[in-house]
Amino acid sequence: MGLGALLLRYPLAQLAMSWAGALWLSWLAWKMLRSASAPLLAGNDSGLGPLSAATLQVVNPKVWVTAVAMVGLFATPALPMGWLALVFLLVALPSMTAWALMGIGSARWLRSSRALRLFNQGLAGLLLVSAWSALLV
């Protein structure tokens, strides 16, 4: 889409975007660190249904970036879009299943307020480290 060439031409814009991203992630880490530690309830029916969760992916920026990258890198006349979509589906389904199972398993571990608070603090720390290490290296 030309953004890569634009950022190569203007390295200060890339640096500004990196700092803005690190600051944004730091703010998110702060919010996680101070978040309420109400225990998770396994089997709670207040979550999204399958159709709502699938529809949410339409506005998920990671899905769009992945789709654009996949088409840009791998779509050729020798590999039509149908085959590419099938390969993507065969990779995506086990990945999504693993994430769903980890979510179910983590709900069992995070039933107490203390466990949830420690988990949020750990994730906030990891988020800070990953944001700033990428910027300062």
Output the CA angle 22-57-132, nearest 5 degrees. Answer: 10
Q: Radius of gyration (Cα) for the chain, nearest Å?
A: 19
Q: Please, what is the average pLDDT of the chain?
A: 82
Q: Which of 134, 135, 4 is nearest to 68 (CA)?
A: 4
What is the predicted pLDDT for the residue at 26?
93
Q: Report which residue type is found at 119.
A: F
What's the pLDDT tens digit per position in 31-70?
A: 888 876 665 555 555 667 888 877 887 888 887 888 788 7
Q: Domain-by-domain residue ranges, the chain?
A: 1-39+113-137, 47-109
Tell me how many degrees the CA angle 120-125-129 measures, rounded to the nearest 5: 150
Q: What is the pLDDT of residues 6-20, one digit of tens each?
A: 777 888 888 888 899
Percentage, residues of the chain above pLDDT 90: 16
Helices 113-136 and 81-109 pack at an angle, to 10 degrees, of 130
